[in-house]
Chain A
């Protein structure tokens, strides 16, 4: 009968004590299991949501910091433009998969009909603007394969993407939506004309009229379709998406250089018709300059923190890095606070377990002092006596932990629901700022976060719980086992 058999025999012969130990381990195991379940679930939410939010990042003005300044500071501060060289320098950082910097402007057209939504088009009703409304958004690109296509915002369905030379030279080529092409009977290789109008506002009559204009002729080289066109949505979301879809269908991709030229033309022509404006520009020495919006697509959403740490020191004052995953921090408050709470509970539960199991084992050992003395008097090695006690405790622990694995997980579900509901009602809406990044991230709300929160009985949770649970009980047992090492068989037996 070796020490392992003796240990197992002791459990079956001393059922009462084994049951007491089992009950203690089961109760404490439930607390540990519940905490781990909640932590795992919140961890999964963060990972999933950040993956859904994507790996895009941009550099933009820190509007919150600006808002926090007093009026005097706001007036005196000089905000520098984002330098193109800096954008290129950031784009070369190892975390960046690819990047682009965009310019944009709105132009109208006399010959090109814009898209106004399916219902409008089906009804045959045309929205006729007073004069010529700037219906088309020209989106300048520098990344020839088009970042929006690479990121799945749109898909090229016909024709080709830009060539590097076209981008560099600012060639008059464009990629338009398939809907615009169909509506205007445009084919690949056809030309279409947009009009760059400079408007003059008459202060006395309050009327706005075209002061001067020029034509912008572009050749169609490719057709795109929005990628999200087939996704099923709720009625409310569908309305919002329709609105965004109209905007996107009227987007025309062109090289940045074209937009730069047209913006410069507008600025120069406007100075001719508005002397006051021209004097002000001259006085301040603020000549026209291109303003770019950079978008950096990172290799992984997990790189966002490292990317931000590397980029922030390079930026001018009042600029900041915005990651697509940043939205998580503002919407995941209920989950985050629950994760924190679960962390504290876990630390307290593990400490309590070490203390309580340690005391229970010590009491049991004192009760069995005589038996342990017998083993030692028979010449049993102390290590094996320690081993026997460890086996007795660990066998009961495995049963207790296995039981609490399921019940703790079940309890965690109930507690999570209660906590999430309570947190949800306490949530205050944070001030939201528009970011260029929004086009590159899925719109996720607190409800999405709460919905994606799920307490599961998966392998990582089971492994983690067994590891923490058994390790805690092992530590709680080893401490009182010092008692055995110090036992003197003579004093016990004689």
Chain B
């Protein structure tokens, strides 16, 4: 297992009452597989992803990366070196070009990156479907689909094995959605990455290697 969640609990305090979003949640993810976590709005799937990506910490329980507690690794360091995160609203730096956005995590990570970072960034973007002429445009001049591709390239820029995506196709049309899903599948199956996508779309879930459903704080696995 590259990533494991053990007995995760997360709740919101509502006066004297605790409203559990995740209750004793246990789940594991392997390299080379494309996972989806399915659930309705407010079911807690984004919270689960934020705990798995160390953007938040659980009230109890642990998240293990390669069998090591991410708290011990350090949340910031874990995000810097071990995980690529893709958001629904892309979260790119609007004043930077596509290639500059990909270069940003390369300067932050402690992972080994080839010296010619710019060429690596152009190649990554090209692999994801962004040609050089578009790579040199500021990202707010790209379409939604193109921006999400740039976000995927940025997640891959630090050469991580784990990709976590929160509703990555939520703002895209069907055709673009499929193209993005194809990229995830290719990353998992051809490049041995572990891709975990949080979604409310059954169509995407159907294409994954394994689907987990989150309902009332409980996670159920489906093959």
Contact = CB atoms under 8 A, between A and B. Distances in A.
Interface of A: 1-3, 5-6, 9-10, 13-14, 370-371, 373-375, 377-381, 489-490, 493-494
Contacts of A3: 107
Nearest to A374: B91
A2 B91 contact: no
B95 interface: yes
B76 A381 contact: yes
Contacts of B106: 1
A377 B104 contact: no
A5 B118 CA distance: 14
Interface string B98-141: 00100111111100000001000000000000000000001000
A373 B91 contact: yes
**Chief secondary structure at chain A's binding surface:** helix
B55 interface: yes
A367 to B, nearest CB: 11
Interface stretch (B15-23, B24-32, B80-88, B188-196): B80-88
B153 to A, nearest CB: 13
A21 B177 CA distance: 42
A83 to B, nearest CB: 80
Interface of B: 46, 49-50, 55-56, 76-81, 85, 87, 91-96, 100, 103-109, 117, 138, 154, 166
B95 A10 contact: yes
Given A1-B103, A1-B107, A374-B91, A490 B55 contact: yes
Contact of B76 (A6, A379, A493): A379
Contacts of B100: 1, 9
B103 A493 contact: no
B89 to A, nearest CB: 8
Given A14-B95, A374-B91, A493-B55, A379 B81 contact: yes
B92 A374 contact: yes
Contacts of B87: 493-494
B28 to A, nearest CB: 23
Could you say which of B91, B100, B154 has the most chain A C-beta atoms within 10 Å of its C-beta?
Answer: B91
A373 B104 CA distance: 13
Contacts of B46: 494
B105 to A, nearest CB: 5
A379 B80 contact: yes
A386 to B, nearest CB: 14
Given A371-B93, A373-B91, 7 more contacts: A6-B104, A371-B94, A375-B108, A377-B85, A490-B55, A493-B87, A494-B55
29 contacts: A1-B100, A1-B104, A1-B106, A1-B107, A1-B117, A2-B107, A6-B107, A9-B96, A13-B95, A13-B96, A13-B138, A14-B95, A371-B93, A373-B91, A375-B108, A378-B79, A378-B105, A378-B154, A379-B76, A379-B77, A379-B78, A379-B81, A380-B80, A380-B108, A490-B50, A493-B91, A494-B46, A494-B49, A494-B166
A379 B91 contact: no
Given A6-B104, A377-B85, A379-B76, A494 B50 contact: yes
A10 to B, nearest CB: 7
Contacts of A9: 95-96, 100
Nearest to A382: B76
Could you say which of B94, B100, B104, B154 has the most chain A C-beta atoms within 10 Å of its C-beta?
Answer: B104
B104 A378 contact: yes
Nearest to B50: A490
Contacts of B105: 378-379
A9 B85 CA distance: 24
A489 B108 CA distance: 16
A45 B141 CA distance: 61
Contacts of A1: 100, 103-104, 106-107, 117
Contacts of A378: 79-80, 104-105, 108, 154
A373 B79 CA distance: 13
Could you say which of A2, A5, A373, A490 has the most chain B C-beta atoms within 10 Å of its C-beta?
Answer: A490
B79 A377 contact: yes
Contacts of A2: 107
B108 to A, nearest CB: 5
A13 B139 CA distance: 13
B152 to A, nearest CB: 14
Contacts of A494: 46, 49-50, 55, 87, 166
Could you say which of A2, A371, A489 has the most chain B C-beta atoms within 10 Å of its C-beta?
Answer: A489
B140 to A, nearest CB: 11
Given A377-B55, A494-B50, A494-B55, A370 B91 contact: yes
Nearest to B95: A13
Nearest to B55: A490
Contacts of B92: 374
A245 B105 CA distance: 85
Contacts of A370: 91
A379 B109 contact: yes
A375 to B, nearest CB: 7
B42 to A, nearest CB: 13
A100 B172 CA distance: 99
A73 to B, nearest CB: 81
* Nearest 5 Cβ contacts at the A-B interface: A379-B80, A379-B79, A13-B95, A490-B55, A1-B103
